[in-house]
Structure 1
């Protein structure tokens, strides 16, 4: 986890209306070696316009699988996803349905170099998205490309460049501009700043805070880095082996965590006097966490618990 101190979090915008995103009873399993691996189990949460929710947990906790289900890259076994009150179909058929889903939810991946086409310029990439969604003629699209790039702090030089000619931070800004091109209701960011230098992380996080303040877009931020979540998110949902361990406002979760697993995550952040052996002993002392197979059932810790 990032050891650099995080700036004070920015206040969340207040936008009237019902939930922008509602997830209810989401479950996803995979078959491996003749057994069923539960990746996500009975996951529920909501996100309001202009809000930002952090999905937090170790590798294998199910947070990336959740992100992939939100954007349709994985199909849930059970559960429902609503965007602006309308259900997102588990199976999307036909061009119109695919475009509608893309407009509802977009994703920005961890490595922008892999998600951008290295053979074409950044401006051409964004223009292709606009053209696919029928956003105006060539002149109108060119103007919109400039607007989107300016929104993320890029200009004509970056528009004409290939992905390999840009820095990591510039590529991630370009990936965000591409995702914003269709004006989605929800933007999912899967470890979107974890590969960036700390100073560049701060720039991208400031950018995301400005975008949600100005547009009312909802952010679902997948991260293992509690410092990042503290800065950009209003609420955090802690996952372990696909299940919710705790869901609280970020400030409350970081200062008064209720679940032993959350306390373990916080204790795992390196600091002066940090003892990794003690963390390992604490990890083993948890043995079987509440909600795991073979353990006593216990209620999920939520915002109103």
Structure 2
């Protein structure tokens, strides 16, 4: 689906297992996908499907047992040594978590957070950092009032926008969003999703959107990859997958979305049959 010349992220044969007592649990098994410049891939599945493990491997928090991850053609190693290597890794892939408090320091203002990231990544002139900080805040729809505020003084949507600005400050090639809008109200979700759409079109960044919500993936992604117990069930353009899901598990996910006439008891019964 993606040519080599515009590929930002290439994942091949990724596998991750965990040991619980004497048993080995396969979290991700032979996972492969790519993301082009300006593209967006949704990784979809229920809790335990391997979505978050995949996200953690993409940013180096987990080491894969097998497979490789390339960003702009360069291998992404799980272990980096030295400041220069860590900064290069940060510029390759950034993540926005479900809870923005994980990336925002509660003790300092949003503006100071962005200033610190820019300084760490080599922007030494204070005036230049101030200009870039204002640009980043404007890019995510925040202004001077939010820049001066501590994270606890902002709404959930504003904090998530600030977390996105922090991730964008290093100008990464790929941005991973791990359930990044699931804790937000529906109206705020729409605002953040619109923001992400604008960012990918305006910057050429590649997005990997990890979610259990097919409606969210439909809105912001070009392609969707459905995971079940660590394995790929389907990987197709979003419109095709939602219009005509080919795998029973994808059909079950779509049937689980509440709508008029929805029967949760029927869904529970189908889920038990599929798991069995």
Q: What is the correspondence of 1:93-242 to structure 2 with a 5 Å cutoff?
A: 93-242=81-230
1:42 & 1:100 partners in 2: Cα distance? 27
> CA 1:212–1:58 in 2, change beyond 3 Å: closer, same or farther?
same
Shift of 1:18: 2.8
The CA deviation string for residues 43-80 of structure 1, in whole angstroms up to 9 with x for no partner, is 00000000000000000100011001101111111110
Shift of 1:144: 0.6
> TM-score w.r.t. structure 1 length?
0.88
Identify the residue that residue 81 of structure 1 maps to in structure 2. 69
1:175 & 1:153 partners in 2: Cα distance? 12
CA contact (8 A) 2:61 2:78 kept: no
Shift of 1:98: 0.8
SS where residue 7 of structure 2 aligns? coil
Shift of 1:32: 1.2
The CA deviation string for residues 264-300 of structure 1, in whole angstroms up to 9 with x for no partner, is 1001111111111211222233355xxxxxxxxxxxx
Shift of 1:16: 9.6
Aligned residues between the structures: 275
Identify the residue that residue 31 of structure 1 maps to in structure 2. 19
Identify the residue that residue 283 of structure 1 maps to in structure 2. 271
Pick one of 250, 259, 262 that aligns with 1:271: 259
SS where residue 102 of structure 1 aligns? helix
The CA deviation string for residues 10-33 of structure 1, in whole angstroms up to 9 with x for no partner, is xxxx99933110000001111112
C-alpha root-mean-square deviation of aligned residues, in Å? 1.4
1:115 & 1:36 partners in 2: Cα distance? 32
SS where residue 271 of structure 1 aligns? coil
The CA deviation string for residues 157-200 of structure 1, in whole angstroms up to 9 with x for no partner, is 10010000000000000000000001000000000000001000
Structure 1: gaps of 5 or more residues: 1-13, 289-305
Shift of 1:223: 0.5
2:33 paired with 1:45? yes
1:67 & 1:174 partners in 2: Cα distance? 20
CA contact (8 A) 1:55 1:221 kept: yes
Structure 2: gaps of 5 or more residues: none
SS where residue 125 of structure 1 aligns? helix
Identify the residue that residue 8 of structure 1 maps to in structure 2. none
SS where residue 20 of structure 1 aligns? strand
SS where residue 286 of structure 1 aligns? helix
1:252 & 1:116 partners in 2: Cα distance? 38
CA contact (8 A) 1:122 1:162 kept: yes
Identify the residue that residue 6 of structure 1 maps to in structure 2. none
CA contact (8 A) 2:43 2:226 kept: yes
CA contact (8 A) 1:27 1:79 kept: yes
Identify the residue that residue 10 of structure 2 maps to in structure 1. 22
The structure in which a higher percent of residues are helix is 2
> CA 1:260–1:162 in 2, change beyond 3 Å: closer, same or farther?
same
Identify the residue that residue 3 of structure 1 maps to in structure 2. none
1:206 & 1:62 partners in 2: Cα distance? 27
1:96 & 1:114 partners in 2: Cα distance? 23
